[in-house]
A and B are shown apart, each in its own frame.
Chain A
Amino acid sequence: MGLLSLVYQFLIGGVIFAAGVLFAWSSRDYSWKKREDRLTLIFMIAGFFLYCVFQTLWHFCALGKI
């Protein structure tokens, strides 16, 4: 129940998120060597996974499967 919505959110949403990050990161504007760039990237990716884990747990908790 509602699993399709969950998958769509993080699959299609994840692709759009990744496109925004990868297109910019593959340009010469950003570098892993710069601390500010590195931290921004880490926080963004960590944020994505936090949302993914949080809402997945919420979904299964709501269904009483956890």
Chain B
Amino acid sequence: MDTTAVVGTRLDYFVILLYFVLIFSFGFIFARFTRSTKDFFFGGQRFSWWLITFSCVASVVGSYSFVKYSAAGFRYGMSSSMTYLNDWIVMGFLLLGWLPILYFGRIGSVPDYFKKRFDGRTAVMATIIVLLYMVGYIGINLYTMGIALNAMLGTNIFLSAVVVAVVCAVYVTIGGQTSVIMTDLAQGIILLIGGFLLFFLGLHVLGGWEAFWSGLPILHRLPFAKFNEPHEFHFVGIFWQDGIANTFALYMMNQGFILRFLSLKSVKEIKKTFLSLVLVLMPLAAFAVSNAGWLGRAMVSQGVLPPDVDAHQIFVRVANTVCQPGLFGFVMAALTAALMSTIDTLINAVSAVAVNDVYKPYVAPNASDKHHLRVARIVSFSAALMGIALVPVFASFKSIYVAHGSFTASITPPMVVTIVLGVYWKKFTSSAAFWTLFGGTVMVVLSIAWPVLITPFSHGVDPSGGFKYMRALFGLAASGIIAVLVSYLTKTKSAKAIEGLVVGTLDKAKEKYKGAPANEVEGKKVAVLLNVSEEIEELSVSQKIAQLMSAKKGDIVYVSDARRWLGGLRSVHARISAIHEEDTLEVWITPALAKQGNLVVDRKHRIEKII
């Protein structure tokens, strides 16, 4: 690998340092909102869609994204964006199936779902797979950050990874999910601005859009790669590995995203978040992470960059070519933002699975929440260390894209099949789920030893590449066949036992969530005066407010500070315990709930019915 350092100026280092200070400050400021494991993992389930959408973009875009997609963009053109532009395929499964079931079922993780939907042994296997998947993701992100810093500063790849991992681990350990969300909001904005800034500066250097467009070969301008060649980057492989297996895995089994969706105030907000993410921000992110590669190709055509420039370093080389001192530092800060926002999410997620699915149920079920919070913080730091240990493993692959693709294609298909069938197929049995995970993983491992197994699914892809991407389709098919066969040979759980856990029983999930039948009559949000009283059970609203919200006693409502820009940081869910007769717009709440939601009594508030 080329280790030529492209060294920035002092101003660039100052900008990067400023960025680190900003992120640390964010992390520490919002750490005070974390008092319990619910806050540490779920951020108190209080946030608005716009805040989570930006933080999700920051989590999707890892530092490997800038390096990997710029390299792909440089080699293969605009088709490098196709990975980010196919998340729409899973919208139905996510928005109408998986996410409402998770939220209303108060399910905190995939292993938790498997324990309820199937059995303990399937949950244990899921725990192992999910942890492997996420720790692996931490490792690949740290590795690519090491490459970027190596290119920029000439520092050792492993040492760079260690420094960044420790910085992330510190603020996640202190602040938990709230710190992660708030820092990721800032980082999401920084990385999008950084990506777009780079493109406009690049156009300026090249002499405008026409010069850029004409500098790209025809194949580099197309939105999709060639169908089945070359074996390193072809459409059909990316479609199945990235578009299907990896996208399902990202939103369904990546605990970081599950926690992010569960930190929203309602299912309605989850839908807004996912739609705005897939339809608006992902296309923007695709452009932001890839355009350095496209610019690089046009620059090579025009002689601005040498033809033998290393694709892995194209992002840094283009940034260094087009940016003035200071701006280069900002773009590098964007790259760092992409890394840290992904790592922090994953560190928090690993901690959630380890504590909620392993430590709490099997090691210390009777310990206090304070004790579990302490363990969560220790695990967070340990997860970062495990990611560091994986850096040399990923460094042994020739291409980051291949390393990442091989990793996800091997580990995700059995899990994706088990989750999708678990949610959508009532006849899918517990034994079938276990054997799908076990047998599917075995089949994928066998296909690594004997790639010939994948040939029937190869779509004509050259076998000399070992079918790294097509392994995902093989894994999905093999897992699907095992799932169906074993389901027909084993006993299905009773309909009662899976109520609220499968599509078609969402009303039961809502009923369990609320503790009573759901009230889904549409109501209004109401601006209210908030009062605190110890004499009420939970929350009391006036008759007038109840009418405006179409709410009844027992309904769950959401009280929030009226300042929308807070994104729900000062808010709380509560159950209406009484409706008073007065014709005013006053709400009474217990001091404990006011404290839990960080509500400030003399401020304007809003109330809305959730269910």
Question: A48, B504: Cβ atoms under 8 Å?
Answer: no
Contacts of B219 in A (CB 8 A): 1-2
Q: Which label, helix, strand, loop or mixed, suits the secondary structure of the B interface? A: helix
Complex Cα distance, B92 from A43, in Å, reads 11
Q: Which of A8, A34, A43, A62 contacts B223 (CB 8 A)?
A: A62
Interface 1/0 per residue, B223-250 and A, CB below 8 Å = 1111100000001100100011000000
Bound Cα distance A50, B86 (Å): 12
Determine whether the beta carbon of A8 is less than 8 Å from that of B235. Answer: yes
What is the CB-to-nearest-CB distance from A58 to chain B, in angstroms, rounded to a whole number? Answer: 5
> Are A40 and B96 within 8 A (Cβ)?
yes
Task: Determine if A51 and B96 form an interchain contact, defined as CB atoms under 8 angstroms apart.
Answer: no
How many angstroms between the C-alpha atoms of A9 and B96 in the bound complex?
22
Contacts of B448 in A (CB 8 A): none
- Residue A53 at the chain B interface, CB threshold 8 Å: no
A55's nearest neighbour on chain B, judged by CB, is B223
Residues of B close to A23: CB separation below 8 A: 92, 97, 424, 503
- Across the two chains, which residue of chain A brings its CB closest to B101? A29
Q: Is the interface of A mostly helix, strand, loop or mixed?
A: helix
Contact of B221 among A21, A47, A62 (CB under 8 A): A62
Query: Does the CB pair A20–B97 fall under 8 Å?
Result: yes
* Cα–Cα, bound, A17→B248 (Å): 12
Can you name the residue of chain A whose Cβ is closest to the Cβ of B424? A23
C-alpha gap A23/B221 in the complex (Å) = 37
**CB <8 Å contact, A44 and B95:** yes
What per-residue 1/0 map shows which CB atoms of B490-509 lie under 8 Å from chain A?
A: 00000000000001111100
The answer, yes or no, to whether B359 is at the interface (CB within 8 Å) is no
- Considering only residues 1-52 of chain A, those with a C-beta below 8 Å from chain B are 1-2, 4-6, 8-9, 12-13, 16-25, 27-30, 34-36, 40, 43-44, 47-48, 50-51
Of A4, A13, A28, A36, the contact of B268 (CB 8 Å cutoff): A36
Q: Would you call B89 and A16 a contact (CB within 8 A)? A: yes
Please report the C-alpha to C-alpha distance between residue A1 and residue B275 in the assembled complex, in whole angstroms: 31
The reply to whether A47 and B91 form a contact with Cβ atoms under 8 Å apart is yes
Given contacts A5-B235, A12-B239, A40-B271, contact A47 B88 (CB under 8 A): yes
CA distance A29 to B504 in the complex (A): 5
Q: How many angstroms between the C-alpha atoms of A23 and B275 in the bound complex?
A: 19
- The reply on A63 being an interface residue by CB < 8 A is yes
B85, B96, B279: the one within 8 Å of A21 (CB): B96
Instruction: From known contacts A12-B239, A13-B239, A51-B85, infer whether A6 and B95 are also in contact, taking CB-CB under 8 Å.
Output: no
Q: B92 to A44, Cβ gap below 8 A?
A: yes
In this complex, which of A4, A16, A27, A62 has the most chain B Cβ atoms within 10 angstroms of its Cβ?
Answer: A62
Q: Which of B80-102 contact A (CB under 8 A)?
A: 82, 85-86, 88-97, 100
Contact B92 A9, beta carbon cutoff 8 Å: no
Contact in complex: A62, B88 (CB < 8 Å): no
Q: Does B522 contact A (CB under 8 A)?
A: yes
Which residues of chain A have C-beta atoms less than 8 A from B239's C-beta?
Answer: 8-9, 12-13
Q: Which residues of A contact B534 (CB under 8 A)?
A: none
A23 to B520, CA, bound (A): 22
Residues in chain B near residue A55, CB distance under 8 A: 85, 223-224
User: How many angstroms from the CA of A6 to the CA of B430 in the assembled complex?
Assistant: 39
A48 touches B88 (CB 8 A): yes
Query: What are the residues of chain B within 8 A of A12 when measuring CB–CB?
Result: 239
A47 to B272 CA separation, bound complex (whole angstroms): 13
A47, B279: Cβ atoms under 8 Å? yes
Q: Give bound CA distance, A64 to B507, whole Å.
A: 52
Q: In the docked arrangement, what's the CA distance between A5 and B460, Å?
A: 13
Closest residue to A23 on the B side, CB-wise? B424
B180 contacts chain A at the CB level, 8 A cutoff: no
| Least CB separation from B216: chain A residue | A62
- CB <8 Å contact, B86 and A40: no
* Among B224, B279, B424, B505, contact of A5 (Cβ-Cβ < 8 Å): B224
Give per-residue flags for B540-553: 1 if the beta carbon is below 8 A from chain A beta carbons, else 0.
Answer: 00000000000000
Which B residues are in CB contact (< 8 Å) with A29?
A: 96, 100, 503-507
| Min CB–CB distance B171 → chain A (angstroms) | 35
- Counting chain A CB atoms within 10 Å of each CB, the highest count among B91, B96, B505 belongs to B96
- Among B100, B224, B275, B522, the most chain A Cβ lie within 10 Å of the Cβ of B224
Q: Which residues of B contact A62 (CB under 8 A)?
A: 78, 218, 221-223
Q: Which residues from chain B contact A13 at a C-beta distance below 8 Å?
A: 86, 88-89, 239, 243
User: Does B72 belong to the interface (CB within 8 Å)?
Assistant: no
B278 within 8 A of A: yes
Complex CA–CA separation, A63 to B213 (angstroms): 12
Near A by CB (< 8 A), chain B positions 16-36 give none
What CA separation (Å) do A59 and B192 show in the bound complex?
25
Contact with B522, one of A4, A16, A24, A35 (Cβ below 8 angstroms): A35
A24 touches B92 (CB 8 A): yes
Please judge, given known A-B contacts A13-B86, A27-B503, A29-B504, whether A19 and B92 are in contact too, CB under 8 Å. yes
Name the B residues within 8 Å of A51 (CB-CB). Answer: 85, 88
Question: Is B278 a contact partner of A63 (Cβ separation < 8 A)?
Answer: no
Indicate which residue in A17, A28, A50, A58 contacts B91 across the interface (CB closer than 8 Å): A17
Q: Is the CB of A16 within 8 A of B218?
A: no
Q: A20-B96, A25-B96, A59-B222 are in contact. Are A50 and B504 (CB under 8 A)?
A: no
9 A-B pairs within 8 Å (CB atoms) are namely: A2-B222, A17-B89, A20-B96, A23-B503, A24-B424, A27-B506, A29-B504, A35-B522, A47-B279
Which residues of A are at the interface with B, using a C-beta cutoff of 8 A?
1-2, 4-6, 8-9, 12-13, 16-25, 27-30, 34-36, 40, 43-44, 47-48, 50-51, 55, 58-59, 62-64
